[in-house]
Structure 1
Amino acid sequence: MAKRFNDDFKQMIVDLAQTDMPLAEIADSYSVGVSTIQKWVKASQDNKLQSTTSADVTKLRQELAAAKQENDILKKSLAIFARKIK
C-alpha cells in the first residue's frame, strides 16, 4: 500500500532538498524515496512558475489596455491636427 504524506511534510522535504543536504540522506532519514522527493521538488517549482506567470499575465494585460488607450488618444489627436492643416 502506498504511503500518503500531507502537504506540510512534503513542503518540509522540498525545503530540505533545496539545501546542501543530499537527497539520499533526506530519503533515508524520512523514509521517502529519492524519486518521490525529486517529483515533489519539480512540482513545487512548477507551482512557483505558474503563480508567477499568472501574475505577470495580469500585469501585462493591464499594460496592454493602457497602451491601447494611449494609442486611441493619439489616433484621435492626429485626426484633429490633420483637419486643421488642410
Structure 2
Amino acid sequence: MTPALTDRQITYMDFIQKFITENDNFPTFEVIAEHFGVKPNSVAGHLLALRKKGYLDMCPNMASYRRTNAFKSFMAIRERNAA
C-alpha cells in the first residue's frame, strides 16, 4: 500500500496529470514552479517526496520524472469519484 498524500501533493499530482494530458510530456520544474508561484527548489522537494512515496520515478538516463502505476491508479480513482 502506498503512503498517504498531503493535500499539496495531490494538488501537484492534479497539475502534472492535466499538463501531461494537454502536452503529452512531463512538466519541467520551472513550469510547475511558475504555476504554483514557488521556486524550482520547492518543486524538487515536493517531487522527491512523491518519488519516496512511490508515485513518481526517475526516467533512466534522463533527468526527468515519470508517473508510476500508483500515480496513474490514484488519478483514475480520483477521476471516477469526481464523475
Q: What TM-score, normalized by structure 2, do the two folds share? A: 0.37
Query: Larger Rg: 1 or 2?
Result: 1
Q: Which has the higher contact order (CA 8 A, sep 6+)?
A: 2
Bigger strand fraction: 2
Bigger helix fraction: 1
Q: What TM-score, normalized by structure 1, do the two folds share? A: 0.36
